[in-house]
A and B are shown apart, each in its own frame.
Chain A
């Protein structure tokens, strides 16, 4: 990137709310059903039907507002956004325009230097999603699936406070984490439950006035957001440095070619003619409602992180990873509570072995094949010296494969650590006797060969010998008399 330019980014995150039914109809709000099986007459925009607001979306939006320290509007209004498209059955989308349900919020992220930075959240408003047009495979025709029509979205609009693609990602991850903590969204990006548009501009460093921005659409993974923004930053800088002007336009990110390109201007030349939807009354929210919602707020990632550092004395960077998802944090705490040793050991195992196994098998932590109390059981055996850390990894794999609890596996496989010093001495003597050349080298100053002898002893014992003891015995026996 270029030192002469400052990057300015604002994000609009579209987040599908995890309600049972749609925003204004009784049809199911679930992903993946057969096409057009989850669309009722309201979703189809039939003559005479009317929208009825799902109270759950109001509760969820309110919860989000409280979580980002925002104002929850005591009165908000649904407006119609008018445009024609075949997957928009009514010819308008019910959204919020002048009076959104949530405004003036904020959250903290780490900037590129690792310092805390406040990102303002202008507003979060409710709107219904459109259906889906399918252009391929229908012989010159477009097919329409209206299952998604009318599903509830919370659109979260940030201030243009972000200064790099990395910050944008940090902000997006934070929002992603919050909505899942609040259990208002599954955050599933592949299914489009969490997607993002980015407004990107650049300006010469020191300039007050914002540069002309472009809007990047269709960003449905963290990786694509980062790539698209970086592509766009470089493109804009190139245009400006060549003496050109950035055109205000909407651009689509093409992940196959890793580039953005303008949408056809026809697609965006819309005057949406917003006006208050006369079929819906303004939503009045009173203090009692907000107070009731507030009671349902869980501990949020930032607070949890602070607590983990204090209560469990974990490394700060580990708490960041552990609190990203509520399920991971809960899992960690369940291990820590059932384990008498240092919590940091539990953290290491959750972040290390467990995460690796989950990733390898593509399993969510709630579906982990090793539950937190079982993992705690394993760690306790390391703690009490029954097995070494290395053997523990073997036991872990066996547990993952469903062979039983840590104790069962240790017994069945005879993995109990050898701590009997006479047994260890016997093996050490045998190893020394079998390797005279190495003994000579060691004794003439090649200290590093100690590892070789340890390895040999471990080999002989199948790794079960207590490593500390082996070290001690080896050192004393190898000493030149």
Chain B
């Protein structure tokens, strides 16, 4: 039994669940162990808030509940939330100075569902400010570092969640993915990152960046753990009109579906220029492994793939420019002192409260929605978005899943791309398409380049989480990349 011979922090969520039910350890012991690891880490800057007291007392409650036999699916299991999820009575900053003092009066639906299933919140993780970034460097609370190389980024925007899972500070974390913000950091930290179908998980209580693209998901070390969490998070929420009333299947039960006979699409454009050669080699190795398990590899085209990044950088800023208007210093959050008048209050509260990347996107978004530019930018982008969706629909007539690289390169150095937003944006070239089309995607560790993890991305049709989770799980049953742990965190 894994639980008896391995250190507790190395266990997966599924293994911890077994350990708790066979009373190998209590939730309190588990939580205390992880809290001390979190407390001991001075490198990563993965957390903005650690909720130690709250976690210990909730863990005790979970232990009591277990002794009475009345328990939820995640009873006593630890989790951390990206600081974009509102948590009642707990600081919720979204990585921004403008919310440096914001204590949410309510729980996000995701948090509510996790808590009622018995998951124990350890803390809130660091992130790019308002989820705008691909390196977790735009956070007001300082950059997150990659456990595999502290000079490098863990990716972003859910970098704190990915780093915490990779460093075994928690077995599981939530993230949000607007253009790759779960899958890209998962790839760069050797973890599993699942972005569900748009509408699969409620966005209520998730601070909005780009409403038509944002989707909550999870970062774990195994596809099995992601399936356990998705089963709790997924489902219609009457408080989110864009959540879809679609049945929630048994994700964990579906994991055993065999690879044999799966038609896996390989996108010709993925292996064009831009992809690091060694990364390409790791991804191709992974594809061969899938083939060996009985999958049929089929070459496909996504002809408008190169338009996805420019399209995204019109649509997402447009929505963010409007979504972030509520941060005005009037009702909550940071307010500038001694404003001369209303205009000054707005300018200074927002000027001081937002960082450079957020301002850049608000300005871009305001521009593309302006009278005279709307048709040329916003409307055009919406049309291209339809084309990209159509490309995927065409592809899924031929294949069950699309597989390829998650990112063009392994983790880059902190500061490397901060002065060059376009290069930074291109890091999301393989992930953005799934957001524009609303499709589910997962990144699974598939090897290393110079001791840095590489991710394999699987994308499925709408509501095919079961399929991509099963493929990822089957792949993980024949490899051990996800078992590798950064040396400093073993």
Determine if chain A interacts with chain B: yes
A contact residues vs B (CB 8 Å cutoff):
41, 44-53, 80, 82, 84, 86, 89-92, 142, 144, 271, 273-275, 278-281
- Interface residues of A, dominant DSSP: loop
Asked if A44 and B331 make an inter-chain contact with CB atoms under 8 angstroms apart, the answer reads yes
Asked if A281 and B104 make an inter-chain contact with CB atoms under 8 angstroms apart, the answer reads no
Residue of A50, A80, A86, A90 near B240 (CB, 8 A) is: A50
Q: Specify the chain B residue showing the minimal Cβ separation from A86.
A: B330
B95 CB to closest chain A CB (Å) equals 12
Query: With the chains together, A106 CA to B342 CA distance in Å?
Result: 43
Query: With the chains together, A280 CA to B346 CA distance in Å?
Result: 27
Which of B202-210, B401-409, B410-418 is found at the contact surface with chain A? B202-210
16 new A-B contacts, CB < 8 A, other than A89-B330, A273-B322, are A45-B331, A46-B331, A46-B332, A48-B85, A48-B104, A52-B240, A52-B241, A80-B322, A82-B369, A89-B326, A92-B322, A273-B371, A273-B374, A278-B212, A279-B208, A281-B241
Asked if B322 and A45 make an inter-chain contact with CB atoms under 8 angstroms apart, the answer reads no
Asked if B94 is an interface residue, CB under 8 A from chain A, the answer is yes
B198 CB to closest chain A CB (Å) equals 10
Asked if A50 and B239 make an inter-chain contact with CB atoms under 8 angstroms apart, the answer reads yes
Asked if B99 is an interface residue, CB under 8 A from chain A, the answer is yes
Residue of B106, B206, B328 near A91 (CB, 8 A) is: B328
A96 CB to closest chain B CB (Å) equals 16
Asked if B304 is an interface residue, CB under 8 A from chain A, the answer is no
Q: Chain A residues near B311 (CB, 8 Å)?
A: none
- Interface residues of B, dominant DSSP: loop
Q: Chain B residues near A50 (CB, 8 Å)?
A: 203-204, 239-242
Known: A45-B326, A80-B322. A278 touches B331 (CB 8 A): no
Asked if B325 and A82 make an inter-chain contact with CB atoms under 8 angstroms apart, the answer reads yes
Asked if B94 and A84 make an inter-chain contact with CB atoms under 8 angstroms apart, the answer reads no
Q: CB-defined interface of B94-112 with A at 8 Å, one 1/0 digit per residue?
A: 1000010010111010000
Known: A89-B331, A92-B322. A47 touches B346 (CB 8 A): no
Residue of B106, B342, B366 near A273 (CB, 8 A) is: B366
B contact residues vs A (CB 8 Å cutoff):
85-86, 92, 94, 99, 102, 104-106, 108, 203-208, 210-212, 238-242, 318-319, 321-322, 324-328, 330-332, 342, 346, 366, 369-371, 374, 378
A287 CB to closest chain B CB (Å) equals 23
Q: Chain A residues near B104 (CB, 8 Å)?
A: 46-48
Q: Chain B residues near A91 (CB, 8 Å)?
A: 322, 324-326, 328
Q: Chain B residues near A89 (CB, 8 Å)?
A: 326, 330-331
Query: With the chains together, A82 CA to B321 CA distance in Å?
Result: 9
24 cross-chain CB contacts under 8 A: A45-B326, A46-B105, A46-B331, A47-B102, A47-B327, A48-B86, A48-B208, A50-B240, A51-B241, A52-B238, A52-B240, A52-B241, A80-B322, A82-B322, A89-B331, A90-B325, A91-B328, A142-B342, A273-B370, A275-B318, A278-B210, A278-B211, A279-B242, A280-B242
Q: Chain A residues near B205 (CB, 8 Å)?
A: 48-49
Query: With the chains together, A34 CA to B210 CA distance in Å?
Result: 35
Asked if A90 and B326 make an inter-chain contact with CB atoms under 8 angstroms apart, the answer reads yes
Residue of B242, B325, B370, B374 near A84 (CB, 8 A) is: B325
Q: Chain B residues near A144 (CB, 8 Å)?
A: 330
Q: Chain A residues near B321 (CB, 8 Å)?
A: 82, 273
A-B residue pairs, 8 tightest by C-beta: A91-B325, A278-B212, A278-B211, A273-B369, A48-B205, A45-B326, A47-B207, A48-B86
Q: Chain A residues near B92 (CB, 8 Å)?
A: 47
Q: Specify the chain A residue showing the minimal Cβ separation from B238.
A: A52
Query: With the chains together, A163 CA to B285 CA distance in Å?
Result: 79
Q: Chain B residues near A52 (CB, 8 Å)?
A: 238-241
A144 CB to closest chain B CB (Å) equals 8
Asked if A280 and B204 make an inter-chain contact with CB atoms under 8 angstroms apart, the answer reads no
Known: A90-B326, A91-B326, A92-B322. A47 touches B378 (CB 8 A): no
B285 CB to closest chain A CB (Å) equals 39
Q: Specify the chain A residue showing the minimal Cβ separation from B319.
A: A278
Q: Chain B residues near A53 (CB, 8 Å)?
A: 241
Asked if A47 and B342 make an inter-chain contact with CB atoms under 8 angstroms apart, the answer reads no
Q: Chain A residues near B346 (CB, 8 Å)?
A: 84
Query: With the chains together, A273 CA to B204 CA distance in Å?
Result: 25
Residue of A44, A92, A281 near B242 (CB, 8 A) is: A281
